[in-house]
């Protein structure tokens, strides 16, 4: 019995565990860029900086609880393709809503507007959950040790909050960034849909990451006139 305990402790505090944790954090950061833009664009629909901050904080607390629940039930969830279909439909609906929403009077915004903070929080939480359906497979593939995956997820949520805060500011500075973000959301939605139809049709992760990098590069390619004048 004692030998098993020491073996367990030796593994959990080994260099191997540290490397796995770093890989999980790195993957969370790479795969969260498109998620961060989507959440930033949703929060920006409140048109009040303080409410935007609160929406991200409260929304991501709920999202964190949902992520942990998803990780703890991942083996069960992966047995049912209906979850991925719902996630794909939800993300593609967000993209459709974004590109079909009329622009405002200044002709600069697609973002749906929300009447209150409590309308935005569930949208942020469920959007993150839909993204997590795509990333949970990657996390479980890297390690099936629950505490490592949960630790990586915890740091990932903190990173996501920081990135979303940056993107809220950048959305006001770059003309194409919001559209670029939603195009990458469409990629994730289509990836989930392809997994439902036929796993063999799903492109490799490096293809998705490369495509997202190219789209985001386009998103940062042009500043708004107000931003250019400020600089």
Residue identified by tokens 């703890």 is 72
Q: pLDDT class for 167, splitting at 50, 70, 90?
A: confident
Look at 169 and 144; give whichever has higher pLDDT. Answer: 169
Q: pLDDT class for 90, splitting at 50, 70, 90?
A: very high
How many CB atoms within 10 Å of residue 38? Answer: 28
Q: Record the tokens describing residue 214, joined without a space.
A: 């190219």
Nearest to 28 by CA among 57, 64, 53: 64
pLDDT higher than 70, residue 217: yes
Q: pLDDT class for 48, splitting at 50, 70, 90?
A: confident
Q: Quote the pLDDT of residue 142.
A: 53
Distance of CA 92 to the CA centre of its chain: 14
Backbone angles phi, psi at 223, to 5 degrees: -85, 155
Nearest to 78 by CA among 129, 36, 133: 133
pLDDT higher than 60, residue 105: no
The pTM (predicted TM-score) of the whole model is 0.76
How many CB atoms within 10 Å of residue 105? Answer: 7
Helices (H) and strands (E) in the chain, counts: 11, 0
- Across residues 103-111, what is the average pLDDT? 50
- Across residues 143-169, what is the average pLDDT? 77
Q: pLDDT class for 18, splitting at 50, 70, 90?
A: low
Q: Quick check: 50 and 194 in contact, CB under 8 A?
A: no
Q: pLDDT class for 218, splitting at 50, 70, 90?
A: very high
| Mean pLDDT for all residues in the chain | 77
pLDDT higher than 50, residue 11: no
Q: pLDDT class for 203, splitting at 50, 70, 90?
A: confident
Q: Record the tokens describing residue 194, joined without a space.
A: 């392809």
pLDDT higher than 70, residue 219: yes
Give the C-alpha separation, 176 to 195, whole Å.
29
Q: Quick check: 131 and 191 in contact, CB under 8 A?
A: no
What is the largest distance, in Å, between two alpha-carbon atoms of the chain?
A: 71
């Amino acid at each position: 019995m004692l030998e098993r305990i020491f073996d367990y402790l030796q593994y959990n505090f080994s260099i191997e565990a540290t490397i796995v944790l770093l890989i999980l954090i790195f993957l969370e950061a790479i795969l969260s860029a498109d998620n961060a833009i989507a959440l930033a664009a949703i929060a920006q629909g409140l048109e009040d900086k303080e409410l935007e901050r609160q929406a991200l904080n409260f929304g991501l607390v709920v999202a964190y609880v949902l992520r942990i629940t998803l990780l703890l039930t991942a083996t069960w969830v992966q047995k049912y393709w209906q979850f991925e279909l719902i996630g794909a439909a939800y993300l593609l609906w967000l993209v459709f809503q974004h590109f079909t929403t009329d622009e405002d009077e200044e002709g600069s915004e697609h973002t749906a507007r929300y009447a209150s903070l409590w309308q935005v929080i569930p949208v942020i939480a469920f959007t993150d959950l839909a993204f997590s359906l795509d990333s949970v497979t990657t996390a479980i593939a890297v390690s099936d040790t629950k505490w490592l995956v949960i630790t990586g997820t915890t740091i990932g949520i903190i990173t996501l909050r920081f990135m979303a805060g940056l993107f809220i500011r950048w959305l006001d500075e770059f003309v194409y960034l919001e559209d670029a973000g939603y195009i990458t959301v469409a990629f994730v939605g289509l990836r989930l849909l392809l997994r439902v139809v036929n796993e063999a049709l799903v492109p490799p992760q490096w293809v998705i990451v490369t495509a997202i990098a190219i789209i985001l590069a386009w998103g940062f390619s042009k500043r708004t006139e107000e931003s250019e004048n400020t600089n």
